Amino acid sequence: MYCTKCGKEMDYDATVCRECQQAETAEVLTPIIESIDPAPRRNPRMRGFGKALASAIVGFVGMYCAVFFYIFGMVGIGIHAESGAPLGTSIVSTIVLELISLIPAVIALVFGIRSIKVFRATPADQPKPIPTLVLGIVGVASAGFALFYAGIVIFIISMLGLGLVT
């Protein structure tokens, strides 16, 4: 009798020869592992996290710049006032620095609002990105403080420059 797979001679009571039988056993013993659910590539709780983190960091930078530039400007105005020099350049430089501190505050405000919108746009069947919401709120709050503080400082310094406040 001959093997049905390779055509070699074999025993009468076997269906395939020993070599083909060993090959079949090797095929049967090799497990094929397939994943049922592929793991998600990104954590769904971290959607929008980059913008929220940038909002919080840039918001704090804008807030600290507004305070630092105010102190810097007041020291400059004080030095000019003591020396009897005109205050024009100190007042203008303080206002310009405060306007520069508005740039990171506005960027933080935009990124914070966008990250909060990502939180609100998350479907109900998916997990909510809580860190995105928290950092977005922190960014918006710090940006709001920086905008408010810089606005008040610019107003006061402008009044000082116009001679309305002494």
Residue partners of 157: CB distance under 8 A and separation at least 6: 73, 77, 91, 94, 95, 98
- Same structural domain for residues 95 and 147? yes
pLDDT tops 80 at residue 80: no
Mean pLDDT of 3-32: 70
Q: Are residues 16 and 49 in the same domain?
A: no
Residues 24 and 48 reside in one and the same domain: no
Contact 149, 63 (CB under 8 A): yes
Residues 155 and 81 in one domain: yes
Q: Are residues 6 and 58 in the same domain?
A: no
Q: 102 is in which domain, residue-wise?
A: 44-162
Return the pLDDT at 146. Answer: 82
Pair 78, 48 in one domain: yes
CB atoms within 10 A of CB 66: 27
pLDDT of the residue at 71: 83
Query: Cβ(163)–Cβ(156) under 8 Å?
Result: no
Residue 166, pLDDT > 70, answer: no
pLDDT over 80 at 73, yes or no: no
The pLDDT of residue 36 is 67
C-alpha 17/C-alpha 5 separation (Å) is 8
Q: Are 135 and 107 in contact (CB under 8 A)?
A: no
**Residue 98 belongs to some domain of the structure:** yes
With vertex at residue 137, the alpha carbon angle to CA 132 and CA 138, rounded to the nearest 5 degrees, is 100
**pLDDT value, residue 3:** 78
How far is 79 from 93, CA to CA, in rounded Å?
Answer: 14
Greater confidence (164 vs 137) lies with 137
Residue 147 lies in a domain: yes
What per-residue confidence (pLDDT) applies to 107?
A: 87
Are residue 3 and residue 71 in the same domain, yes or no?
A: no
Structural domain includes residue 39: no
Rg of the Cα atoms in the chain: 36
Number of other residues whose CB lies within 10 A of the CB of residue 104: 22
Q: Are residues 50 and 29 in the same domain?
A: no
Higher pLDDT pick, 142 / 5: 142
Q: Report if residue 148 sits inside a domain.
A: yes
Structure tokens at 88: 């024009």
Same domain, 1 and 71: no
CA angle at 118 for the pair 117 and 122, rounded to the nearest 5°: 115
Could you give the number of structural domains in the chain? 2
pLDDT per residue over 35-56, tens digit each? 666 666 776 667 778 888 888 8
pLDDT above 60 for 29 = no
